[in-house]
């Protein structure tokens, strides 16, 4: 037992001085249920982007595309009409991930953004009122921080990251879902 005391002391000290940050606010399934309460069905779809698709998305969004896969969800009503779409994205804020869901209406506009998980310290978490700035927005030149989207004092990396991901997913959505 004496051999374990230094190890236990070290573990306790590390946990005390380096607290684990991060929090999961909502699961993917709960987020989809919340977004589409009246849906009679939600279907997961995946698009495989080829090199030309990636080039078009990058040109439209002015954001680098990191993956050839684009997964989204389609919510349908009782008469099989489309209620809306959801896209889940993750990116690194400073050194740790953030996961969010963007809900998009049938016109390709953002309905809302919900943070599902955030592993950086809470002070870098974007406030809901800031996320509300995206409501009704489509991809355009004003969809940028310090242009049509306000900066977040003390969380500029978070603001830039979310805005960049929204630009990329809206471009992909416009080119690969709405135009097909």
Write down the domain spans for the chain: 20-178
pLDDT-based confidence at 10, cuts 50/70/90?
Answer: very low
Say if residues 110 and 135 touch (Cβ distance below 8 Å): yes
Query: Global pTM?
Result: 0.84
CA distances from 147 to 49, 160, 165 (A): 30, 12, 16
Per-residue pLDDT of 68-98, as tens digits, reads 999 999 999 999 999 999 999 998 888 999 9
Per-residue pLDDT of 16-55, as tens digits, reads 444 556 799 999 999 999 999 999 999 999 999 999 999 9
């Amino acid at each position: 037992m004496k051999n374990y005391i230094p190890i236990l002391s070290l573990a306790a000290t590390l946990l005390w001085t380096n607290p684990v940050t991060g929090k999961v606010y909502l699961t993917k399934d709960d987020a989809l249920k919340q977004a589409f309460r009246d849906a009679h069905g939600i279907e997961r779809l995946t698009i495989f982007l080829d090199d030309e698709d990636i080039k078009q998305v990058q040109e439209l969004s002015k954001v680098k595309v990191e993956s050839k896969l684009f997964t989204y969800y389609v919510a349908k009503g009782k008469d099989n009409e489309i209620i809306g779409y959801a896209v889940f994205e993750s990116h690194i804020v400073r050194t740790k991930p953030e996961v969010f869901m963007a809900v998009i209406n049938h016109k390709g506009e953002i309905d809302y953004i919900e943070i599902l998980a955030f592993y950086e310290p809470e002070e870098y978490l974007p406030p809901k009122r800031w996320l509300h700035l995206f409501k009704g927005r489509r991809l355009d030149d004003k969809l940028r921080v310090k242009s049509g989207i306000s900066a977040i004092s003390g969380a500029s990396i978070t603001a830039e990251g979310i805005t960049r991901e929204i630009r990329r997913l809206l471009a992909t959505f416009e080119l690969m879902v709405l135009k097909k």
